[in-house]
Homo-oligomer: A and B are copies of this chain.
Amino acid sequence: MTTTAARPPTPTLEQVAALAGVSRATVSRVINDSPRVSPAARDAVHAAVEALRYVPNRMARSLVTRRTDTIALVLSESNTQIFADPFFARIVRGLSARLADTELNLVLLAARGGREQEKVARYVQQGHVDGVILISLHRDDLLPDLLARSPVPLVLSGRPFDGRAVPYVDADNVGGAAAATTHLLQLGRSRIGTVAGPLDMVAGLDRLTGYRTALAAAGTPARPELVAEGDFTEAGGSRAMARLLSEVPDLDAVFVASDPMAVGALRVLRAAGRRVPDDVAVVGFDDAEVAASCDPPLTTVAQPLEEMTGALVDLLLEQIGSGGSAVEARLCGTALVRRASA
């Protein structure tokens, strides 16, 4: 069964105009909701559009408007699978929700290796999108430079490593981590370790800084063996927690720099026969949903993700709109969420 049916030709503005008995210009005005159209013409055009199942050709439109009404979320997953991170899923949901009532479309661009990153950069440079949101940046990531070459507006989720002038949105990771650690101090704990995030990411670094800051403020600076680096994943959290336990057997509290890591850490603690939170108090960071699924639920530092994704879009739209704008940064607060033990 070889169906070599030529694809049916898509109707054009021209044909709609002909059917409606008006000019192309008028059809265009109707399509674009121009107020300067008579009701009669409007109805005729709408009817013709329905009849022909007309859909505007985006390429033709973009060629003249120089807009694509599309923004890209670029996933620079030079590391492992960012997909698995619930934080990522929430970002996507948040962005989609924010864009739901707009004309803007969202596309995700995955860039793992160097070649893919260049391909993505080319895609952006060729004008497929009006703006780019870049997340999950690592220190040696090439994407910011690759993307900066093109005139397409760019915003980062997370402060850039170098102090480069790029708009970004970040959570108060230092403050959040300090709050978490202070909470543990107030519980009366004294041997407080941390399962840190990856130290080639600002979020990882900042949370470690917050942890250290709080300890230092309490007059009990962190000992090196109290810090175990993880990679924000559940498995990484398990590994780091195991290392921490073996090096500091009398650990009585731990600040875990992400919630997936906290889940892994908790598993290890329990397998080791430690009671949580009686023997070892745990505070997670990031994703309230993950932490809430623990039993007993974890005390957590939550990020205002809605606020962050909203700010990301706002920042980007600002730039797209004005065709250049003041470089801006938004720091979003964090909140310590204590949950009653089940």
CB distance from A82 to the nearest CB of B (A): 9
CB distance from A291 to the nearest CB of B (A): 14
Residue of B nearest to A55 (CB): B125
Q: Is the CB of A2 within 8 A of B57?
A: no
Of A101-109, A188-196, A205-213, A223-231, the one contacting chain B is A101-109
**B100–A116 contact, CB under 8 A?**
yes
Q: Which residues of B contact A127 (CB under 8 A)?
A: 10, 55, 57-59
* Chain B proximity mask over A85-128: 1 for CB below 8 Å, otherwise 0: 01011001100100010000111111010011001001101111
Return chain B residues, CB-CB under 8 Å to A107: 72, 107-109
Q: Which stretch in A248-256, A301-309, A321-329 binds the other chain?
A: A321-329
Tell me which residues from 3 to 26 in chain A have a Cβ below 8 Å from any Cβ of chain B: 3-8, 10
Residues B93 and A112 in contact, CB atoms below 8 Å apart: yes
Question: Would you call A28 an interface residue if the criterion is a C-beta within 8 Å of the partner chain's C-beta atoms?
Answer: no
A219-240 interface bits toward B, Cβ cutoff 8 Å, 1 = contact, 0 = none: 0000000000000000100000
Contact status of A106 and B96, CB under 8 A, knowing A1-B327, A126-B56: no
Q: Which residues of A133-162 have CB atoms within 8 Å of chain B's CB atoms?
A: 150-151
Contacts of A55 on B, CB cut-off 8 Å?
Answer: 122, 125-127, 150
- Of A3, A10, A56, A107, most B-chain CB atoms within 10 Å: A107
Q: Which residues of B contact A327 (CB under 8 A)?
A: 1, 3
Q: Does A331 contact B (CB under 8 A)?
A: no
Are A116 and B89 in touch, CB under 8 angstroms? no
Instruction: Determine if A78 is an interface residue (Cβ-Cβ < 8 Å).
Output: no
One of A34-42, A62-70, A172-180 contacting the partner: A62-70
Across the interface, A1 reaches (CB within 8 A) one of B6, B108, B326, namely B326
**Min C-beta distance of A5 to chain B, whole Å:** 5
- Please name the residue on chain B nearest to A270 by beta carbon: B271
A108 to B82, CA, bound (A): 14
A325 vs B4: C-alpha distance when bound (angstroms): 5
Assess the B89–A105 pair: CB atoms within 8 A.
Answer: no
* CB-CB under 8 A for A322 and B4, given A56-B126, A107-B109: yes
- Asked if A292 lies at the interface with its beta carbon under 8 angstroms from chain B, I say no
A89 to B149, CA, bound (A): 29
CA A107 to CA B119, docked complex, whole Å = 12
A residues adjacent to B (C-beta < 8 A): 1-8, 10, 55-60, 62-63, 68, 70, 72, 81, 83-84, 86, 88-89, 92-93, 96, 100, 105-110, 112, 115-116, 119, 122-123, 125-128, 150-151, 235, 293, 322-327
List 5 additional A-B contacts (Cβ < 8 Å) besides A1-B327, A100-B115.
Answer: A3-B327, A10-B127, A55-B150, A63-B63, A83-B84
Across the A-B interface, the 10 shortest Cβ-Cβ residue pairs: A108-B108, A58-B126, A107-B107, A59-B62, A59-B63, A2-B326, A5-B324, A81-B89, A83-B89, A83-B83
Q: List 12 A-B contacts (CB under 8 A).
A: A2-B325, A3-B325, A3-B326, A55-B125, A55-B127, A55-B150, A59-B127, A83-B89, A84-B86, A96-B110, A96-B116, A105-B123
